[in-house]
Amino acid sequence: MSKINNIQKFILDNVEKHPRDIATVLAEKFNFSRQRAHRYLTREVENGNIIKTGRTRWTQYFLASGNYVEFSEKIKPDLAEDRVWSKYIKPIMLSCPQNIYRICIYGFTEIFNNAIDHSEGTTIFSDIEIKNKVITIRIIDNGIGIFKKIQKALNLDSIKESILHLSKGKFTTDPSKHTGEGIFFTSRMFDSFVILSSDMCYAFHNEDWFLSPEKNENFGQGTLIEMKISLNSKKTPKEVFDQYTDQEIGFGKTIVAVALSADPNDPHVSRSQAKRLLMGLEKFKTIILDFKGVTSVGQAFVDEVFRVFQNENPNIIIHYINANEEVESMLKRGLANK
């Protein structure tokens, strides 16, 4: 084997163990300068064998056929999510099943673009790992925080209400640039979708949602989004889109977590609570109200949803799921009075 081939083999065999100091390790192994070591590393980057991230002392190298890459990007006018995908992530994803590849490129580019356009931050950090046949994508920004931004835009009383409106779909703080559909569909394509911001964690997992207080000391006030999907998943983007779209009107169906429209200790009794719940839902053709975690509802709340709103929007179909016995009884009474 020639010396050049030996050097190439050494780089590919050792870059995963030495992502930050591979140039030093290489120079010491073959007894030449770090400048020369960098020339060999650059050649492997150009040949598509390794991925370079960062600059100067923050430079790292990762195996293009490996299972991990991490990088950070400054938010600038020319930062483009598709270029970031192609440069850093595409190489390690090429061996994935085609449906998984399409889901990951959709989810990454949607969420990364949201961070560029909406976060009001300066930096985005991301890492992608393939381990135990599961792909994990994390995107973190140091901005205002997604829940806080929505709360400010809608003048809401609580962070929890922000999560409610975000989870509906079709909500965006910048309708000139976004449809508000990205997070809704991304959360349903992946096996697990988590948003951590403003000391609150909202998770969507296998068509079920979870909300809990949670702090993250690692990134401050911004937003962390984590997406996971099994390499064995049979989901496709088309399958998910078809579940919630209509050929004539497009994105026309949504599922709404009713419990997010009031504090846990407050029953859903007032018309104001119902109006907050219904905000923006006139954009949909089919609404599924998920009463998971709701212990009781009042007559005024039910009337506002199933009579007033329904009369104002007669072409909208409203269903409900996960109602306990008490809630079910009140809903049936309300429906009988339509």
d(CA 152, CA 79): 26
pLDDT band per the 50, 70, 90 thresholds, residue 247:
low
CA 150, 74, 85, 202 dihedral sign is negative
Is the pLDDT at 322 greater than 50? The verdict is yes
Q: Which amino acid is at 84?
A: V
Residue 255 near residue 285, CB atoms below 8 Å: no
Q: pLDDT tens-digit profile of 47-80?
A: 999 999 998 888 999 999 999 999 999 999 999 9
**Residue 261: how many CA atoms within 13 Å on its side-chain side?**
27
User: What CATH number has the domain spanning 252-336?
Assistant: 3.30.750
The structural domains of the chain, with segments of one domain joined by +, span 3-63, 68-236, 252-336
Q: Other C-beta atoms within 10 Å of 130: how many?
A: 17
Average pLDDT value for the chain? 89
Phi/psi of residue 62, nearest 5 degrees = -135, 150
Angle between helices 3-14 and 34-46 in degrees, nearest 10? 80
- pLDDT score at 171: 66
Task: Kindly state the helix (H) or strand (E) to which residue 282 belongs, with its residue range.
Answer: none
DSSP 329: H
Instruction: Pick the closest to residue 163 from 203, 112, 110 (CA basis).
Output: 203
Residue 250 near residue 283, CB atoms below 8 Å: no
d(CA 257, CA 240): 19
Rounded to an integer, the average pLDDT of 255-283 is 85
Residue 299: CB partners within 8 Å, gap ≥ 6? 330, 333, 334
Is the pLDDT at 249 greater than 60? The verdict is no
DSSP 292: T
Percent of all residues in the chain with a pLDDT value above 70, rounded to a whole number: 92
Q: pLDDT tens-digit profile of 96-134?
A: 999 999 999 999 999 999 999 989 999 999 999 999 999
End-to-end CA gap in the chain = 83
User: What CATH number has the domain spanning 68-236?
Assistant: 3.30.565.10
User: What CATH number has the domain spanning 3-63?
Assistant: 1.10.10
